[in-house]
Amino acid sequence: MKITGAQALLKCLEEQNVETIFGFPGGAVIDIYDAILAQDKITHVLVRHEQAAVHAADAYARVIGDVGVALVTSGPGATNTVTGIASAYLDSIPIVVFTGQVPTALIGNDAFQEVDIVGITRPCTKHNYLVTDVNDLVPTIREAFHIARTGRPGPVLVDLPKDIMASLVKFPEPKPVRMRTYQPTYEPHPGQIEKACKAIMAAKKPVLYVGGGVIAAKAHEELTELAKKLDIPVTMTLMGLGGFPGTDPLSMGMLGMHGTYYSNMAVANCDLLISVGARFDDRVTGRIDAFAPKAQIIHIDIDPTSISKNVKVDIPIVADCKHALAGMNTWLDRNQDLNVNAEKEKHGPWLKQINEWKIEHPLGYVDDPDVIKPQFVVQKLHELTGGDAIITTEVGQNQMWAAQFYHFNHPRAFMTSGGLGVMGYGFPAAIGAQMAAPGRTVIDIAGDGSIQMNIQEMATAMQYKLPVKIAILNNNFLGMVRQWQELFYDKKYSATPLDVAPDFVALAKAYGAVGLRATKPGEVEPVIKEALKTDNLVVMDFVIAREEGVYPMVPAGKATTEMLLV
């Protein structure tokens, strides 16, 4: 029996265990939307802007640990997804984006709502496809999901011309995808594992430097085992937060530009840096020649291009983080004659030194009895949610305060646009996360600037009854740029004051949501408590200290030890 391309697409999604897709209709995908209406296996979430569909799919993917899906129309629908796709690409998040396209006969004719989206997204997708024959449709979609979820995960785009969706096709039997040109390396080389373990056993001052790869590979248990086995202190990148329990004594929190003093000092002074699923990003390394200058470097990454890209690595291990860490744990257990406990004790002085750094310059801020400090809000959110909420962020100061002061103890609980740094990510991401985890508390920690970049999604949250909480840290500024202007541009606040702003409480009410405001520190806790017990979309407007900065801060291009402190 033959079915239409649109029906085959939905059948394919079902085959890939897709339950929810985020999208926005249009002329080129009208056949697909017709087919969506005729089935009940897949829930479609109608967003209010295509960018939001991709961010929502991104966060959905992060929560469930599998592929997220977005569906949009051709032309502007497709171009609106580019920011979301680029963000997922830099953060290695598995998503498949389906874009409508004009009928094949019209491609290249500058037809209405035609754009070469495959050409546009080539540099920001892991791979992309234009389907030109309905018989290729199902194999292409299967390949797209396979590529998105395996190896170093990433976004894949499939462009679907309108006539292909309307053509008839026989649905091919499911079969495993085998690709001649794409075979990621999961298993580590045993020789490299042995080398790495010996280096670890020889080190006196080791540091585990953990990135998003640990979360992508679901390797947090193996990582925790390794860290505890030998008492190795752990620092995490923005993407790695939650990969190791943030409240564990071995955790040093985040490193880099806004990392903790002790993380940056530990990396600068360690004799062995064990990088797991991280990519030595410039926001982490600062001035590259001053990054971990005394250390031998082990680098575990599934993507060979990440290794020795920015920093020369001594022991490269191309593998899935989970397999590599498990391999190292097994090796260490097997070689008991090396006396793991003695090694553990050997790290005593190093941990003591790190502890001294922690006491010297803890993560902190200057409290004020009259003005709400943003860090205090994040601390209160942590306290009142028991550290158990899913936190999404926008980008800027709000993102850094969330990363610093909400101590994540579990993976897949922190969603942020790490690599691309997209303002407007957090709210649609919260929608995606709430769809994936209906029972959980989901909070978007936002700024008054960035929330306005996708604020139209309040309608989406209301439509699907998603009780997302938005905590706006409102300083009437584009705060992070203002901070740079304060520090490096003689306080010349060019285009950063947001003198005209909506009344967020009234705006929430206009959408049928709940709006709450706190202007004094004493009002923070009641507002959060009220929000947490409200089964509705809630906007919390925290009027915070206008010129509060994010500290520590490593100025761009400086060594990570040259931190500006509170």
Partner 1 sequence: MKHTISVLLQNRPGVLSRVTGLFSGRGFNIESLSVAPTLEKDVSCLTLMTSGEDHIIEQITKQLHKLIDVIKVTDISESDYVEREMALIRVKAEPSTRAEILRITDIFRGRVVDVSQKSYAVEVTGTCDKVQAMIDILRPIGIQEIIRTGTIAMTRANKKY
Active site includes 504?
no
Q: Which is nearer to partner 1, 132 or 353 (CB)?
A: 132
Q: Looking at residues 307 to 336 of the shown chain, list those that interact with partner 1 (rule: CB under 8 A).
A: 308-309, 312
Contacting range for partner 1; rule: CB under 8 A; set: 58-66, 117-125, 193-201, 361-369? 117-125
Q: Looking at residues 204 to 243 of the shown chain, list those that interact with partner 1 (rule: CB under 8 A).
A: none
Neighbour count for residue 356 (Cβ, 10 Å): 11
Active site includes 562?
no
Q: Are strands 95-101 and 168-170 parallel, antiparallel or unpaired?
A: unpaired
Q: How far is CA 307 from the centre of its chain?
A: 21
Q: Whole-angstrom Cα distance, residue 349 to residue 362?
A: 19
- The shares of helix, strand and coil residues in the chain, as percent rounded to the nearest 5, are 45, 20, 40
Catalytic residue (one of 2, 14, 112, 294): 112
Neighbour count for residue 370 (Cβ, 10 Å): 9
Catalytic residue (one of 265, 400, 458, 480): 480
Q: Which is nearer to partner 1, 143 or 457 (CB)?
A: 143
- Least Å distance between CB 86 and partner 1? 12
Q: How far is CA 539 from the centre of its chain?
A: 22
Residue 122, interface with partner 1 (CB under 8 A)?
Answer: yes
Q: Whole-angstrom Cα distance, residue 180 to residue 57?
A: 29
Among residues 24, 165, 22, 30, the alpha carbon closest in space to that of 95 is found at 22
Catalytic residue (one of 162, 205, 322, 373): 162
Q: Looking at residues 163 to 202 of the shown chain, list those that interact with partner 1 (rule: CB under 8 A).
A: 179-182
Q: Which of 44, 62, 126, 279 binds partner 1 (CB under 8 A)?
A: 126
Q: Are strands 206-210 and 234-236 parallel, antiparallel or unpaired?
A: parallel
Residue 104, interface with partner 1 (CB under 8 A)?
Answer: no
Q: Looking at residues 135 to 164 of the shown chain, list those that interact with partner 1 (rule: CB under 8 A).
A: 147
- Least Å distance between CB 148 and partner 1? 11
Q: Which of 106, 118, 338, 498 binds partner 1 (CB under 8 A)?
A: 118
Active site includes 480?
yes
- Least Å distance between CB 304 and partner 1? 5
Contact predicate 131/164, CB 8 Å: yes
Catalytic residue (one of 15, 113, 171, 456): 113
Q: Which of 30, 79, 127, 340 binds partner 1 (CB under 8 A)?
A: 127
Count the site residues for partner 1 by CB under 8 A: 18
Contacting range for partner 1; rule: CB under 8 A; set: 20-28, 299-307, 344-352, 374-382? 299-307
Q: Are strands 414-415 and 442-447 parallel, antiparallel or unpaired?
A: unpaired
Q: Both tokens of residue 331?
A: 């090796």
Active site includes 463?
no
The per-residue b/e assignment along 490-505, b for 16 or more CB within 10 angstroms, e otherwise, is: eeeeeebebeeeeebb
Active site includes 113?
yes
3-state secondary structure (DSSP) of residue 22: strand
Residue 258, interface with partner 1 (CB under 8 A)?
Answer: no
Catalytic residue (one of 50, 222, 394, 548): 50
Q: Whole-angstrom Cα distance, residue 12 to residue 98?
A: 12
Q: Which of 76, 174, 190, 304 binds partner 1 (CB under 8 A)?
A: 304
Q: Whole-angstrom Cα distance, residue 542 to residue 524?
A: 8
Q: Which of 76, 119, 293, 438 binds partner 1 (CB under 8 A)?
A: 119
Q: Which is nearer to partner 1, 181 or 494 (CB)?
A: 181
Strands (E) across 63-216 are located at 68-72, 95-101, 127-130, 155-161, 168-170, 206-210
Contacting range for partner 1; rule: CB under 8 A; set: 116-124, 168-176, 481-489, 499-507? 116-124
What residues make contact with partner 1 under the rule CB under 8 A? 118-119, 122-123, 126-127, 130, 147, 179-182, 303-305, 308-309, 312
- Catalytic positions: 50, 112-113, 162, 480
